[in-house]
Amino acid sequence: MSYVDGFVIPVPKENVEAYKKMSLECGKVWKEYGALEFRECIGDDVPPGKVTSFPLSVDLKEGEAVVFSWIVYASRAARDEINDKVMKDPRVAHHMDPKNMPFDGKRMIWGGFEMMIDL
């Protein structure tokens, strides 16, 4: 079954366009190396919670938006191989430097997930 990397990211609203530009550039590289899907979504209906919520998960500050993203791969092995190539690609290196990120990478949540159901 497929494998998915998922991300929840706090992006300052003033940096949304810069984030989109970065994501489009990086997404092309991921797809070039074999990612099946590369999706970026910006929060539209993400209410704060009392115990858990998307805003709480990234310590969302005033003036920020929650971005929910995922990349789909054919398998975990494919993901590991693709990510290894992407991280070595000079087109992506600039974006991986925390000084160049249009968001606070320390508050980003990410993880790899084995697909359980795919309808």
CB 34 within 8 A of CB 86: no
**Res 96: pLDDT:** 86
**Res 5: pLDDT:** 98
The residue to which tokens 């970026």 are assigned: 40
- Can you give the pTM of this predicted structure? 0.93
**Res 51: pLDDT:** 94
pLDDT at 109 over 90: yes
Q: Domain residues of the chain, as ranges?
A: 11-67+83-114
Which value, in Å, is the radius of gyration of the alpha carbons in the chain?
15
Chain-centre distance for alpha carbon 8: 7
Per the document, the length of the chain is: 119
Class of domain 11-67+83-114: alpha beta
Q: For residue range 23-58, what is the model confidence (pLDDT) as tens digits?
A: 999 999 999 999 999 999 999 999 999 999 999 999
**Res 56: pLDDT:** 96
96 membership: H or E segment, kind and range: helix 90-96
pLDDT at 1 over 90: no
Q: For residue range 58-95, what is the model confidence (pLDDT) as tens digits?
A: 999 999 999 999 999 999 999 999 999 999 999 998 88
Q: For residue range 96-106, what is the model confidence (pLDDT) as tens digits?
A: 888 889 999 99
**Res 38: pLDDT:** 98
